[in-house]
Amino acid sequence: MRRRTTANARTCGRLEDNTKIFKTSWRLSFRLFLCTSLVWVSLLALFVAPVNAQQEAETLVLGKDHFLAGGTVTFNKDNVDDLFMAGETVHAKSDISGSAHLAGRSVEVMGTVGGDAYLAGMNLVLGGKVVGDATLAGYDARVGEVGGDLRLAGSVLVVQGPVAGCALIDGDEVRIEGPILGDVLLKSRTLSFSDEARIEGQLILFEEELGMQSIPTRVAPEDRIERREIWEWEDSTSDSKLTSWSQVVIAYCIQVLVISLLAILAAGVAPQKIAGLRRTVFDHPIRALMRGFFVESAVMGSCILFAMTLIGIVLIPISLLVTLVLGGIGYVVAVYCLGVGLLLVFGRPEPDGFGTRALAAVLGAVVARSLALIPFLGWFTFLALTLVGVGAFTFNWCQAKPVLANGS
């Protein structure tokens, strides 16, 4: 009996550690997704006019990996390993043997995913079977069969299942319609179950008031349910001791992926604008750095002036938002320019198509985020890239063509 008690204690300890790692990694990834989404929306608003949603998607093929981007993007090819898709409306209809990385306003996956699936957007439907793990962040999300673990965050969430592994679910309205074979960590304001819903492992439930959520015994008996107050969800992830190599790797991979997608979309949708910014960075890097420094200083300094007027205090959040958006845009621009510069160093020509632009974006993101991991030097590298990008962006944005009277 003592050995069994010790084994159970060790199992619970490992579950608690894994729970904390999953929660902390997910919070970092989800917040990064929200911030970069704001940057991308700003890029679209400032760089280009509205794009025709029916335009043909750009495609890049590297071995068996496929990269697609555009307005409405549809994938229906065979013999594909990893799949990367980004657009306003994204449809993946065919099976793939590798992992799926998809982002858009509306994302739908109906084919089988042989590896892991990563979806981000507004409306998400993961209807095909996922052999590995599934990670989704959106507003309205529906998930089908998952062979591994499930990580799901949003507002209105439906888990059709079955889920063979553990599940981490964070939403406002959550409905479970199928079996989950592993442990479940769940936070929601409203929770409902279908007749087929089952939780075979331990259910850790975070509630505003303990006992407010009714769990049918057919779903999970009370002796396998642990109820916690909802504030513990955030409080238990704020411990600085939760940092681990798994968190660092997960955060690094997601950062590279998101930055690459932003740079690819920007270069694909507005190639001439991005080319102009690239020439500014290459021709006048010091000037771009100084201009970026003065622009960011001016915008941040406006907060002090607004505070001194008292009436202008209400404008301080706008100044802070402009500072963050400009910094995000500048960083994406600089990362892409860094990737192009590295290609030129290796003897490759300047990007003239979607494939080379995507390669430059991915290369720049990998190098930039790798440099950011270096203590002390990483911060200055990140700051320099951001200021150079901001300087190039504002320089090109402020260069207005003269308007002649009477159309002459």
pLDDT along the chain (408 residues), means of 10: 41 48 47 44 39 54 81 86 85 92 88 92 91 90 94 91 91 91 89 91 84 85 85 53 50 77 79 84 88 85 77 78 84 89 83 78 85 81 89 76 42
Q: What is the pLDDT of residue 157?
A: 93
Q: Which of 340-370 are b and which e, b meaning 16 or more Cβ less than 10 Å from the residue's Cβ?
A: bbbbeeeeeeebeebebbbbbbbbbbbbbbe
Of the candidates 31, 17, 29, 32, the residue with the CA atom closest to the CA atom of residue 185: 17
Q: Which two tokens stand for residue 213?
A: 């959520």
Report d(CA 218, CA 111) in Å as an integer.
31
Of the candidates 156, 165, 106, the residue with the CA atom closest to the CA atom of residue 133: 165
Report d(CA 405, CA 32) in Å as an integer.
47
Q: What is the pLDDT of residue 88?
A: 78
Q: CB-side exposure of 304: number of CA atoms within 13 Å?
A: 4
Q: How many residues does the chain have?
A: 408
Sort residue 223 into left (φ over 0), alpha (ψ -120 to 50) or beta: alpha
Q: What is the pLDDT of residue 179?
A: 94
Q: What is the pLDDT of residue 40?
A: 43
Q: What is the pLDDT of residue 115?
A: 93
Report d(CA 156, CA 179) in Å as an integer.
19
Of the candidates 163, 125, 248, 195, the residue with the CA atom closest to the CA atom of residue 186: 163
Report d(CA 399, CA 338) in Å as an integer.
23
